[in-house]
Amino acid sequence: MSGSSEGTVDGLEVYVLAEEHASGMFWAQHGISFLLKVHSGGQVHEILFDTGNSWEPIEHNLRLLGEDLSGVKAVVLSHRHYDHTGGLKGLLTNLNREITIISHPDLFRPNFVLPLREIGIPFTRAELEDLGARFLLTRDPIEVMSGVVTTGEVPRTSEVEREMTIETYTVDEDGRLVRDPIMDDVSLVVKLRGGSVVLTGCSHAGVVNIVKRAFEIAGPVRAVMGGFHLISASEERIEATVRALQDLGVEQVITGHCTGLTAECAFRKAYGKGFAQLAVGKVFRFP
């Protein structure tokens, strides 16, 4: 694994394992988990992106899909919130082997919302390492495999995304509660010949900032899939976000989780057939 991002992959399938909506007999939950099947050089490589807040619904959904995670090469965690990391212990117990887990150095830093409630990763590093986790925590982009790269820490440059949509806190060296901008929010970029697909967790870095970062790292972005955290954003910000993604050349938006109904409707209206709602059990294919 390195920081470079040479090459493209031949195809991508994304299985939605955790999300707030579900189709048929699948189980929904608060959180995100995607199984990626990356087609490259005649082989299929499996990567897990986030683990929802609990493992049991994921296990149930995998069974219904006729899939398992035994072949997963690496886990990428978008950030430390419990609704993206809470399934980790169940996953590791189920895998019963060593596995690389890629994320940001702030993964185990406490994170709170007010009234005071912990919303960070609900496990210690040691207990996860005992179960086989091998952490690769970095602020830089990491190539998970040729053609698949993380954004690393995302610069917060976009004007419309100055307004934070979630106020969170952490503790400083003196034990004081201080604002936490969730700099650990990283996304995953899969490079395909027709443009990249970007997978986001909650987009706490701002989905426009994330797409800009993906563009810098890997060129044109054709699709963005995941939570955009616009649930409490102003209508002005939502409209500006839709326009910015269109201006950046994004052709397809697949969203749910923390995006919120108002923003989902705005994307549906602007994107038409290029919009899709996330739902557990759905499989999205990108040739």
Nearer to Fe ion, 18 or 221 (CB): 18
Question: What is the closest distance, in whole angstroms, from the C-beta atom of residue 207 to Fe ion in the complex?
Answer: 13
Question: What is the closest distance, in whole angstroms, from the C-beta atom of residue 228 to Fe ion in the complex?
Answer: 10
Half-sphere exposure of 286 (CA within 13 A, CB side): 32
Nearer to Fe ion, 5 or 54 (CB): 54
The token pair that represents 193 in the structure block: 């010949």
Footprint on residues 148-187 left by Fe ion (CB under 5 A): none
Q: Is 191 in the site for Fe ion (CB under 5 A)?
A: no
Nearer to Fe ion, 119 or 145 (CB): 119
Nearer to Fe ion, 192 or 258 (CB): 258
Nearer to Fe ion, 141 or 256 (CB): 256
Interface residue with Fe ion among 29, 48, 54, 81 (CB under 5 A) is 81
- Measured CA distances, 235 to 36, 55, 77, 209, 242 (Å): 32, 35, 29, 18, 11
Question: What is the closest distance, in whole angstroms, from the C-beta atom of residue 147 to Fe ion in the complex?
Answer: 26
- Measured CA distances, 179 to 50, 110, 112, 168, 241 (Å): 24, 12, 9, 6, 24
Nearer to Fe ion, 83 or 153 (CB): 83
Footprint on residues 106-135 left by Fe ion (CB under 5 A): none
Residue type, 98: E
Q: Give which of 205, 201, 226, 217 is closest to 78, Cα–Cα.
A: 201
Q: Tell me the longest C-alpha to C-alpha distance in the chain.
A: 54
Nearer to Fe ion, 81 or 212 (CB): 81
Terminal Cα-to-Cα distance of the chain (whole angstroms): 24
Question: What is the closest distance, in whole angstroms, from the C-beta atom of residue 188 to Fe ion in the complex?
Answer: 15
**Which residues in the chain belong to E strands, given as ranges?**
11-18, 33-40, 43-49, 72-76, 99-103, 112-113, 117-118, 133-137, 143-145, 148-150, 169-171, 177-179, 188-190, 196-200, 221-227, 252-256, 275-277, 283-286
Centre a 10 Å sphere on the Cβ of residue 146 and count the other Cβ atoms it contains.
18
Residue 66 CA to residue 72 CA, distance in Å, equals 15
Interface residue with Fe ion among 46, 83, 161, 180 (CB under 5 A) is 83
Please identify, among the stretches 92-100, 141-149, 194-202, 247-255, the one whose residues bind Fe ion according to the rule CB under 5 A. 194-202
Question: What is the closest distance, in whole angstroms, from the C-beta atom of residue 191 to Fe ion in the complex?
Answer: 25
Question: What is the closest distance, in whole angstroms, from the C-beta atom of residue 96 to Fe ion in the complex?
Answer: 27
Q: At 150, is the secondary structure helix, strand, or coil?
A: strand
* Binding string, residues 33-72; x marks residues near Fe ion by CB under 5 A: ----------------------------------------
Q: What is the DSSP letter of 258?
A: T
Q: Is 202 in the site for Fe ion (CB under 5 A)?
A: yes
Q: Is 253 in the site for Fe ion (CB under 5 A)?
A: no
Residues linked to residue 59 through DSSP beta bridges, in sequence order: none
Question: What is the closest distance, in whole angstroms, from the C-beta atom of residue 261 to Fe ion in the complex?
Answer: 16
| Number of residues near Fe ion (by CB under 5 A) | 4
Q: Which residues bind Fe ion (CB under 5 A)?
A: 81, 83, 202, 258
